[in-house]
Structure 1
Amino acid sequence: MPHAGKTIPVAFLLGVGVLSSPAGHAQSQAPKQAPVQNWSFKGPLGHFDLAAVQRGYAVFAGVCASCHGLTQVHFSDLAATGLTSAEIAALAETWQVPDGLDGEGRLKHRKANPDDALPPPYPTPQAARAANRGAVPPDLSRITQVYPGGADRVFALLTGYGGQALSTATGGAGGFANPYAIGHRTAMPPPLRDGAVVYADGTQATAELEARDVTTFLAWVSNPHADSKRRLGVGVALYLCFLATLLVILKRRIWSHVRK
């Protein structure tokens, strides 16, 4: 799953709305309710599909990482997705991370190692604004937890484009039409297309599958210990049920000789 160069612009998941009239119009410009999706990781007995998580990383690295960061994630954290130490080391080496300044005061870079965090795509917010028409693409480390609507809305936003850019000729703010963005407009162009990445497992990469996989990956990144917590919760529940049953049996045995 190599890291592609910064050649594909990616969505700014927090769309910026244009509110030009009073409360009634503002309400009409509220993001559309995202359709509920059947995610494997939903519910107390849910679990992450690690194959989808790995494919989602490929989409992030090949598309999203050109504008968005995952600065709260270290390469070594990806071991929980099923990758081996050798695979993680090889994956880290495809990234460049800052490594101080050279003798002339310019920023140096080196190949990443497993202990490094995934590097941000821009050195400063000012550089991000300059490259993205004034918008700063958000860090995606906790996007499905802090973004209203969670994974459902992230997926809806990625797949919900109207297909036409909004004109600025009449004084509008421009951007791209998307009913799931604030103001039904987002600064990001449609980021995904069929075959945007090549999956290592041979799965055919359609735009919808890419959106579903990268949303699954971002949900895992936002809560990487969810599966272990659910397993612990199920174990505790089973233990308490066993203990309650044992106590009932013990109570009946102790009090069985007492006449009512």
Structure 2
Amino acid sequence: MRKLLATGAIALAALATGAVAIAAGTTEPPPQRKWHFQGPFGTYDRAAAQRGYQVYHDVCAACHSLQLLAYRNLMELGLTENQVKDLIKDITVPDLNDDGQPIDRPARLSDRFKKPFPNQAAAAAANNGKAPPDLSVIVKARADGPNYLHGLLTGYVPYDKLTPEQIKEFAVTKDDNFNKYFPGHKIAMAPPLADDKVAYTDGTKSTLDQQSSDVVEFLAWASEPHMEDRKRTGVRVVLFLLALAGFMYAVKRMVWSDKH
């Protein structure tokens, strides 16, 4: 029995090692970037996050929801109430009238971000059987989330740029979307962004890399909108503990001074 268990354990370890080796050998890690919000003193680049909201609104919102955010939360990005109202003036959301009948009405600041589909089944039916994920906490839900998302958005390779070895190894056809940073490389989502896909209102040059960076900044904020408050609190706590440690050391010296 012990021999059987040992053999099984060895087999499982070999299988796991092989799987890791295959994954490591076929999936290229995304480039590592320095993000404004990283580190103990990092903060959100609000100008970038505002542009990122524009990318989300113009491109991503057609398929992906942001269920945990309300429109009023956009004021935390440095926008005024009137600016947010202007951003959502053309958005209508489902509601009920006084008679309980379904209607569409203009979005209010208190409304959560409008879902692109009425339910998961409709979302899956419109996207080849798989509903697009909600993006509310996507940056926190993925390992190395910011770099992974940026790599995913910029990592598409056109079919005519693939090598014959890649086409053969991953069974890629002209109808597939090949992404060098996506596990398995074939991804259902077509390239969502491209140069000049979004016309920035602040005049920033709208390159693929710029759009990807901005929407990652916005989604990082969406995943943890209170990060800056948490970091400020942490700094205050550390400073308080350092001061307390110094005070306690001084008290100890005073109390025990006659014993030395």
Q: TM-score range by the shorter chain?
A: 0.7 to 0.9
Aligned to 2:53: 57
CA distance in 2: counterparts of 1:242 and 1:25, whole angstroms: 50
User: How far 1:259 moved relative to its partner?
Assistant: 4.4
**Of 83-92 and 70-79, the range deviating more from structure 2:** 83-92
User: How far 1:26 moved relative to its partner?
Assistant: 5.7
What one-letter code is carried by the residue in structure 2 that aligns with 1:27? Answer: A
What one-letter code is carried by the residue in structure 2 that aligns with 1:124? Answer: N
User: How far 1:126 moved relative to its partner?
Assistant: 2.9
CA distance in 1: counterparts of 2:175 and 2:26, whole angstroms: 17
**2:141 is aligned with 1:137:** no
Aligned to 1:186: 187
Aligned to 1:205: 206
Contact 1:198 1:205 in 2 (8 A): yes
Give the alignment of 1:37-56 within 5 angstroms. Answer: 37-56=33-52
**Of 170-179 and 198-207, the range deviating more from structure 2:** 170-179
Aligned to 1:18: none
User: How far 1:252 moved relative to its partner?
Assistant: 2.2
CA distance in 2: counterparts of 1:228 and 1:201, whole angstroms: 27
Structure 1 residues 102 and 255, CA gap change in structure 2 (3 angstroms): closer
State the TM-score, normalized to the length of structure 2: 0.81
Aligned to 2:237: 236
Structure 1 residues 26 and 198, CA gap change in structure 2 (3 angstroms): same
State the TM-score, normalized to the length of structure 1: 0.81
**Of 126-135 and 145-154, the range deviating more from structure 2:** 126-135
More helix by share: 2
Runs (5+) with no aligned partner, structure 2: 1-17, 161-166
Contact 1:29 1:184 in 2 (8 A): no
**2:122 is aligned with 1:121:** no
Runs (5+) with no aligned partner, structure 1: 1-21
Match of 1:149 among 144, 154, 158: 144
Identical residues among aligned pairs (%): 38
